[in-house]
C-alpha cells in the first residue's frame, strides 16, 4: 500500500513495511470460501494467526499426488506476491502449515516431479454457518419470518428453492498453471 499513499499523507506512518501473509486468513468478507471469523487480541495474535493459517490450509489446500497437482484457494492466486515470487515459492510457503501427511506429500511432489497448480472456484455466497438454514438441517424449528435490519419481518425462502446463481450451477473451471 505504500506506493498508493503519497509520502506527505499522514496515514503513511501506519503502513506496514513487512506484511505477514497469515493476515489473509484473518481477514473475512463473509463469503463461504473465506476463512472463518476468529477473535484476535494482542496477547493471542501470533498463535491465532498460526491456527487460522493452519486451519485454512488444511481445508483449502488439496494435494493430489496421483494427479500431480495441488488445488489451492483463489486467495493464493489473488495475493500470490505476498506468499512468494513463483508458484513453487507459494507451495513452499504453504507446506509448514499443512498436517504432516499432506506436508510430506507436497514436499515429495515438489522435489520429484512437475506440479500443476489449480485454483478452486471461490464461493461468494454468504457464509451462513449459524443461520436459519443450518438450524433446519440440525432438526430445529426455524421461524417462517425473521426480523431484518430495519426491524420489519421478512419471509424466508423455501429451503428447497435455489436462492442464488451458484445454487443453479455446479461446475467449476479451475485455472491451470505449471511450475
What is the reported pLDDT for 48?
94
Divide the 179 residues of the chain into consecutive groups of 10 and give the mean pLDDT of each group.
76 86 88 83 94 94 95 95 95 97 96 93 76 46 45 43 36 37
C-alpha 118: how far from chain center = 15
pTM: 0.65
Contacts of 12 by beta carbon, 8 Å cutoff, 6+ apart:
2, 5, 6
Beta strand residue intervals within 76-165, DSSP E: 116-119, 145-147, 153-155
In this prediction, residue 70 carries a pLDDT of 97
Taking Cα atoms as reference points, which of 30, 40, 45 lies closest to residue 130? 30
pLDDT on residue 59: 93
Is 117 within 8 Å of 68 (Cβ atoms)? no
d(CA 179, CA 170): 28
**Hey, is 161 helix, strand or coil?**
coil
pLDDT at 3: 61
Amino acid at each position: 500500500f505504500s506506493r498508493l499513499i503519497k509520502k506527505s499523507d499522514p496515514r503513511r506512518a501506519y503502513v506496514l513495511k513487512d506484511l505477514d501473509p497469515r493476515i489473509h486468513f484473518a481477514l473475512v468478507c463473509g463469503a463461504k470460501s473465506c476463512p472463518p471469523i476468529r477473535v484476535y487480541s494482542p496477547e493471542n495474535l501470533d498463535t491465532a494467526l498460526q491456527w487460522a493459517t493452519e486451519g485454512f490450509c488444511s481445508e483449502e489446500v488439496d494435494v493430489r499426488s496421483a494427479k500431480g497437482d495441488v488445488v489451492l484457494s483463489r486467495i493464493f492466486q489473488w495475493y500470490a506476491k505476498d506468499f512468494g515470487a513463483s508458484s513453487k515459492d507459494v507451495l513452499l510457503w504453504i507446506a509448514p502449515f499443512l498436517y504432516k501427511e499432506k506436508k510430506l506429500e507436497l514436499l515429495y511432489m515438489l522435489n520429484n516431479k512437475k506440479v500443476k497448480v489449480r485454483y478452486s472456484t471461490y464461493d461468494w455466497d454468504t457464509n451462513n454457518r449459524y443461520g436459519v438454514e443450518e438450524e433446519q438441517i440440525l432438526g430445529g424449528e426455524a421461524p417462517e419470518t425473521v426480523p431484518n435490519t430495519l426491524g420489519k419481518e421478512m419471509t424466508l425462502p423455501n429451503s428447497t428453492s435455489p436462492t442464488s446463481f451458484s445454487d443453479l450451477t455446479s461446475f467449476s473451471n479451475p485455472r491451470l498453471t505449471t511450475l
